[in-house]
Amino acid sequence: MATQPDQIQTQPLEREALLQQARERAGLSDFGDEWFFEPMDRYIEASNREGRLTPAGRASTTEVIVKGLVSRLRMVEDIKRHPEILDEKVDVAGIILGLPRTGSTIFQRLLASAPGMTGLRWYEAQNFAPFPGEERGNPVERRAYAQAMIDGWLQLSPELASIHPLEPDAPDEEILVLGQMFVSTMIEGMNYVPSFSRWLNTYDQSKGHEDLKTILKYLQWQDPSRKGRKWILKSPSNLPYAEVAAKAFPDALLIMTHRDPLQTVPSYVSMQAALYKLSATLTDEEVGAFWFPRLVEWMRLFEAARERIGEDRFIDIDYREVGKEPMAQAERVLSRMGIPVDAQLEEVLAEFLAGNKREQRPMHDYSLERFGLDEEAIKREFATYRERYIL
């Protein structure tokens, strides 16, 4: 394919320039363990070579990288000043995994709304370190930053409103934090970097999850009301790299959400097309050509990992059953995680469901044809999965 005109105008990303921007913004220089330089370099190389970043895309990508580095600098400094952060006891009780578009977002938020539960909030995923001068437990500026991001995204790609509910205080995916360390599928989800995706399959991502543990301690320290609560995590990155998450949090229940790939594949490809619109120049067919085989690969990686991990760690949740009996499905999981199923729990879950109905958002319109996808190919590639969980 010919080089896009706006790609020619885009200056390449450079690691040292990005690090220096972060140092200057934070007024700090200690990044702690610099293990993340390797995946950072791999990502920068792939993005410069194949990312097709528009000038606006380069600017937004730079901001994502720099703010992540700034959060890291600030966290390292806060831990030096408050070493008790590392004494926080974080209980990750559950990790949701599954193909994207399987109802995992609403299910995570439902579980996180239960008494005794908590989740990583979207504004925290954008900036996990407090801003200078922020009152502990009152992150007004970080919430405003997150809302401005959401407003900007929806202006550039309005269809996102129908695809993924974006709210600063709502629980969301740790993939957004891991992506700031250049591990997790957030990288390929926000930028078109096929070679980086191939490389990530071969890379040991465990150091990213070790840092994630520290970040969860840091977030819990920032909000003392979380002490004693159980965390529920969720990320599509947990599907292809399930063993990384399972080993990092060995006591966590692995919650697999299921929905027919005939719906999830075109729905997710549609989401990716909307996200890529924020930063790059790709056709719908190109998005489909990358993401269909990538989702097949994710499932192949997961199926092999699940066998090694062992069935006792898993609980399976059918999208159709959540639609019919969301309370019953949530209570199945919460009881496995040691949360009492009582009248108070049922009242809280019912209140959450009343305010988070699907019809309260615009409908998500997508089709196989728009992305060059074929129904028979999806049935063929996901035959084993569909036979086990769907049909």
Total count of residues recorded for the chain: 391
Q: Which residue has the higher pLDDT, 56 or 367?
A: 56
Quote the percentage of the chain above a pLDDT of 70: 93
Measured CA to CA, the distance from residue 353 to residue 16 in angstroms comes to 47
Provide the pLDDT for residue 164. 63
Q: Calculate mean pLDDT across residues 258-287.
A: 91
Q: Which of 294, 295, 272, 267 is nearest to 284 (CA)?
A: 272
CB 246 within 8 A of CB 309: yes
Whether residue 89 has pLDDT greater than 80: yes
| Class of residue 301 by CB neighbours under 10 A (exposed 0-12, middle 13-18, buried 19+) | middle
Q: Which residue has the higher pLDDT, 346 or 315?
A: 315
- When pLDDT is cut at 50, 70 and 90, the band that residue 232 belongs to is very high
Distance of CA 221 to the CA centre of its chain: 22
Measured CA to CA, the distance from residue 295 to residue 99 in angstroms comes to 8
Provide the pLDDT for residue 359. 44
| Class of residue 235 by CB neighbours under 10 A (exposed 0-12, middle 13-18, buried 19+) | buried
- When pLDDT is cut at 50, 70 and 90, the band that residue 257 belongs to is very high
Question: How many C-beta atoms surround the C-beta of residue 330 within 10 A?
Answer: 24
CB 362 within 8 A of CB 162: yes
CA distances 200 to 8, 51, 187, 215, 226, Å, are: 27, 16, 10, 22, 33
Whether residue 358 has pLDDT greater than 70: no
CB 321 within 8 A of CB 329: yes
For the chain, give the secondary structure using H, E and C. CCCCHHHHCCCCCCHHHHHHHHHHHHCCCCCCCCCCHHHHHHHHHHHHHHCCECHHHHHHHHHHHHHHHHHHHHHHHHHHHCHHHHHCCCEEEEEEEECCCCCHHHHHHHHHCCCCEECCEHHHHHCCCCCCCCECCECHHHHHHHHHHHHHHHHHCCCHHHHCCCCCCCECCCHHHHHHHCCCCHHHHHCCCHHHHHHHCCCCCHHHHHHHHHHHHHHHHHCHHHCCCEEEEECHHHCCCHHHHHHHCCCCEEEEEECCHHHHHHHHHHHHHHHHCCCECCCHHHHHHHHHHHHHHHHHHHHHHHHHHCHHHEEEEEHHHHHHCHHHHHHHHHHHCCCCCCHHHHHHHHHHHHCCCHHHCCCCCCCCHHHCCCHHHHHHHCHHHHHHHCC
Q: Are strands 253-258 and 230-234 parallel, antiparallel or unpaired?
A: unpaired
Highest mean pLDDT: which of 9-23, 138-152, 217-231?
217-231
Q: Identify any residues that bridge with 53 across adjacent strands, giving them in sequence order.
A: 280
Whether residue 249 has pLDDT greater than 60: yes
- When pLDDT is cut at 50, 70 and 90, the band that residue 384 belongs to is very high
Q: Calculate mean pLDDT across residues 139-158.
A: 87
Q: Calculate mean pLDDT across residues 22-27.
A: 98
Whether residue 53 has pLDDT greater than 90: yes
- When pLDDT is cut at 50, 70 and 90, the band that residue 365 belongs to is low
- When pLDDT is cut at 50, 70 and 90, the band that residue 3 belongs to is very low
Whether residue 10 has pLDDT greater than 80: no
Provide the pLDDT for residue 357. 64
Provide the pLDDT for residue 149. 87
